[in-house]
Amino acid sequence: MTIQDEYRKKGWKDLPPGGIVDRPATARDYKTGTWRAFRPIRNKDKKICQNPEACLVCWILCPDAAIIRVEPNELEIDLDYCKGCGVCALECPLKAIEMEQE
């Protein structure tokens, strides 16, 4: 259970004072992907991303580091943290990413 789930079960009397989080490194548990209104969809037909020449523009520009290089030229989108800003879709020179409403 993430700390957020744990704190969600607590009423105001049981939350730690001052809105602190009583342990470190919990930001990873906070799934900001829930804020997303538009979801990036990779067009698998456009194989260029698997090529050695993959440009990685999306990986460079993603403000949430939600483009993951699983292999040197194999990319995945981490939907736990992708807020759906659409920078990747806009900037992809091959238009290999499209945004779809959630």
Partner 1 sequence: MAKAKVLGMMGDFAVAEAAKLCNPDVIAAYPITPQTIIVERLAEFVADGELDCDYICVESEHSAMSACFGASAAGARVYTATASQGLALMIEIVYITASARFPVVMTIANRALSGPINIHCDHSDAMLARDSGWIQLFAEDCQEAYDSTIQAFRIAEDKQVSLPVINCLDGFVLSHSIEPVEILEPTEEETLDGFLPIRDPLYKLDVDAPIAQGLLALPEFYMEIKRGQQEAHLRSLDVIKEVIQDFGDRWGRYWPVVEPYQMDDAEVAVVTIGSSTGTGRAAVDELRAEGKKVGLVKLRCFRPFPVKDIQAALKNAGAVGVCDRAVSFGSTGPAYADTAGAMVGRSGPLIKNFIIGLGGKDITIDTFRAMYDNLYADLAKGEVEEPVEWIGIRGE
Q: Which of 26, 30, 42 is nearest to 75 (CA)?
A: 42
Give the long-range contacts of residues 57-63, CB within 8 A, separation 24 or more.
Answer: 57/88, 57/91, 57/92, 57/93, 58/87, 58/88, 58/91, 58/92, 58/97, 61/87, 61/88, 61/91, 62/87, 62/88, 63/87
Smallest separation, CB 55 to partner 1 (Å): 34
Smallest separation, CB 93 to partner 1 (Å): 35
Which residues in the 4-63 window bind partner 1 by CB under 8 A?
A: 7-8, 10-13, 15-26
Pick the closer one to partner 1 by CB: 13 or 44. Answer: 13
Smallest separation, CB 27 to partner 1 (Å): 8
Smallest separation, CB 5 to partner 1 (Å): 11
Using the contact rule CB under 8 A, the part of the chain among 2-10, 39-47, 52-60, 85-93 near partner 1 is 2-10
Q: What is the number of alpha carbons within 13 Å of residue 75 lying toward its C-beta?
A: 29
The residue ranges that bind partner 1 (CB under 8 A) are 7-8, 10-13, 15-26
